[in-house]
Chain A
Amino acid sequence: MTRPWLTNLLLVGPAALAVALFIFLPVAVVFVLAFTDYLIGAPSATWVGLENFQQLLGSRLGRNALINTLVYAAIVIPASVGLGLIVALGLHSLATRLPRIATLLQTVYFLPVAATLVAMAVAWQMLLHPSLGLVNTWLSALGLSGQQWLTDRDIVLFTLALIGIWQTVGYNMVLFLAGLSAIPATLYDAAAVDGAKGGWTRFWTVTWPMLGPTTLFVLIVTAANTFRVFETVATLTEGGPAFASDTIVYALYREGFVYFKAGYASAITVVFFAALLLLTAIQILLIERRVHYR
């Protein structure tokens, strides 16, 4: 107790140093690099102003990665959040009558969240294999033609989106289940007294408004995760064919660590970071407005 500053330093120092060294310093560096033409391994770099950003937003390849990410997000976010809600509603009402089956189904839906995505992507690759895979075999048994799920440039992004939905529904389901169990039963009783009897009316008058904050949270978390899509792209397509499944984080990886264009990759990083910060800002703004009826 004689030297409190030493105690404080011992307690706080290592963590504070780690946060400064591995989070704040790199963020500062990446913002500087984004305005240079630095190549990894090069002896020096030149200040190029906004050139990297112009290349990203102005070139076909750069825009392509951004658009693919947005298309991917536009499919995965609504589908994953919607299905997560539907499954949660179903399981929530099932839990009162058949609790064991509800628990079992919940376990199954959550399985992809706990599983190693890269290994599961390899399994998906085999499932979607043009000749040895189950999906095309079943399709042809139904008289439908099989697809080149991962090598057809018109389909590949949708295939990845499907895997993205598969992986995230269980996570959203758990968040919605938590939201549902927090709704007091007295509200449903009150609604029934007021004449809201059917399941549909109950949903729109009580469940949906009460789930407001949960839904917002789920939407933001899902959006943040879909913008980060990387594992499936790196495992299954490497952005191909012909950049048809190139996404922002994969482009960051390719430009920075395959082509060693640290400057350009830093600009991609900054745009990616800005998009995520914008998302957080929207979240805070909406919470300030209180998406809630309590």
Chain B
Amino acid sequence: MTPARLLSLGLLSLGAAMVLLPFVWMVSVSLKPHAEIFTTDVRLLPRSFTLQNYWHALTETAIPRYLMNGAIVTGGILALQLLVTVPCAYALAHRTFPGRQVLFGSVVAALLVPFHVTAIPIFLGLAWVGWLNTYTALILPFIATAFGLFLLRQAFAQIPGELVDAARVDGMSEMGIAWRIAFPLGLPTVIAFSIFSVTAHWNDLFWPLIATTDSALATPPRGILFFRDEESGDDVGPLMAGATLITAPLILGFLLAQKRFTQGLASTGLKR
């Protein structure tokens, strides 16, 4: 190895260490006993390990509740998104119907609209029907996914028309073709979109902060802030344990399915 190569490897490793620092610190503090956190002798790694903070976070705080809310909200959003998006994307790709061009044009135009832009009117609408502070408020606005429609339409358009025609000749219904032919054949794209959707909504703070004030409905990011603001600086260990628990599902998913994850988040670059 030449010195230049060694230097480049050294710098890359140094950068990686800096990227890793907040993660290491978060896990480290979460494993430290109380006395080791509140000391003037601050160290990167704990000298004695304890799981006490995790026990505290899981039994004496609402962290499990927040995790469950996260699962309900992200799961609900994804299920409903797919339910309305798959048939529509299939129709856009393989059917001719009046208004198809207009609809597809609208989908492309809607890609340009970040959620923040629609937040105030959606909030007013939900307040008007009295749905604020419900799971519905956290889930419903995200059913409309221009991004999902666009991505799935592109994927379904790759499916040969002969295949679709053959299914029609066999007497399959159009809804049946959408779910039993287009959906499985477009599965890689469906998975990429699912990873994108789950990540985006698990991590979202903006909308949960607006649509809910009830801590019983808090999603993980909203919940960790409730926890932090309640504990007033004394429960740092459990707070870091909570932060670790909240980050863990997506990080584990990423480590287990790195390629799919990277594709899901990067090929979808046009939205986020």
- Residue numbers of A with Cβ under 8 A of B are 4-5, 7-8, 10-12, 14-16, 18-19, 21-27, 29-30, 33, 40, 83, 87, 90-91, 93-94, 97-98, 101, 105, 107-120, 122-124, 126-127, 131-134, 137, 166, 169-171, 174-175, 178, 217, 221, 224-225, 228, 230-231, 234-235, 249, 252-253, 256-257, 262, 265-266, 269, 272-273, 276-277, 280
Please give 7 more A-B residue pairs, beta carbons under 8 A apart, in addition to A11-B174, A118-B221: A26-B122, A83-B15, A111-B251, A118-B203, A119-B224, A166-B18, A280-B112
Other-chain residue from B20, B44, B84, B246 in contact with A134 (beta carbon distance below 8 A): B44
Q: Which residue of B lies closest to A32 (CB)?
A: B121
Closest chain A CB from B206 CB (angstroms): 6
Contact in complex: B254, A114 (CB < 8 Å): yes
Closest chain B CB from A270 CB (angstroms): 8
Contact in complex: A266, B251 (CB < 8 Å): no
Give the interface segment out of B47-55, B159-167, B186-194, B235-243. B235-243
Q: Which residue of B lies closest to A136 (CB)?
A: B42
* Chain B contacts for A169, CB-based, 8 A: 19
* Chain B contacts for A15, CB-based, 8 A: 84-85, 87-89, 144, 149
Contact in complex: A257, B210 (CB < 8 Å): yes
The interface on chain B, measured as residues whose beta carbon lies within 8 A of the other chain's beta carbons, has a size of 95
* Chain A contacts for B42, CB-based, 8 A: 132-134, 137
Contact in complex: B225, A235 (CB < 8 Å): yes
* Chain A contacts for B83, CB-based, 8 A: 14
* Chain A contacts for B157, CB-based, 8 A: none
Q: Which residue of A lies closest to B1 (CB)?
A: A97
* Chain B contacts for A133, CB-based, 8 A: 42
A134 to B225, CA, bound (A): 22
Other-chain residue from A14, A83, A91, A132 in contact with B236 (beta carbon distance below 8 A): A132
Contact in complex: B114, A228 (CB < 8 Å): yes
Q: Is the interface of B mostly helix, strand, loop or mixed?
A: helix
A24 to B118, CA, bound (A): 8
Q: Is the interface of A mostly helix, strand, loop or mixed?
A: helix
A18 to B11, CA, bound (A): 49
Contact in complex: A124, B22 (CB < 8 Å): yes
Other-chain residue from B174, B224, B255 in contact with A107 (beta carbon distance below 8 A): B255
Contact in complex: A33, B120 (CB < 8 Å): yes
Contact in complex: A24, B106 (CB < 8 Å): yes
Other-chain residue from B19, B85, B89, B254 in contact with A166 (beta carbon distance below 8 A): B19
Contact in complex: A23, B221 (CB < 8 Å): no
Contact in complex: B178, A11 (CB < 8 Å): yes
* Chain B contacts for A98, CB-based, 8 A: 9
B141 contacts the other chain (CB 8 A): yes
Closest chain A CB from B157 CB (angstroms): 15
A252 to B118, CA, bound (A): 12
B124 contacts the other chain (CB 8 A): yes
Contact in complex: B23, A111 (CB < 8 Å): yes
B25 contacts the other chain (CB 8 A): yes
Q: Given the interface contacts A134-B25, A280-B112, does A120 sit within 8 Å of B247 by beta carbon?
A: yes
A248 to B18, CA, bound (A): 29
Contact in complex: A253, B206 (CB < 8 Å): yes
Contact in complex: A123, B23 (CB < 8 Å): yes
Q: Report 16 cross-chain contacts, Cβ distance below 8 Å, ordered by A residue.
A: A11-B178, A12-B97, A18-B84, A26-B117, A29-B121, A30-B120, A40-B123, A90-B8, A90-B12, A94-B8, A118-B225, A123-B240, A134-B42, A171-B269, A174-B262, A249-B206
* Chain B contacts for A18, CB-based, 8 A: 84, 143-144
Contact in complex: A4, B97 (CB < 8 Å): yes
Contact in complex: B25, A93 (CB < 8 Å): no
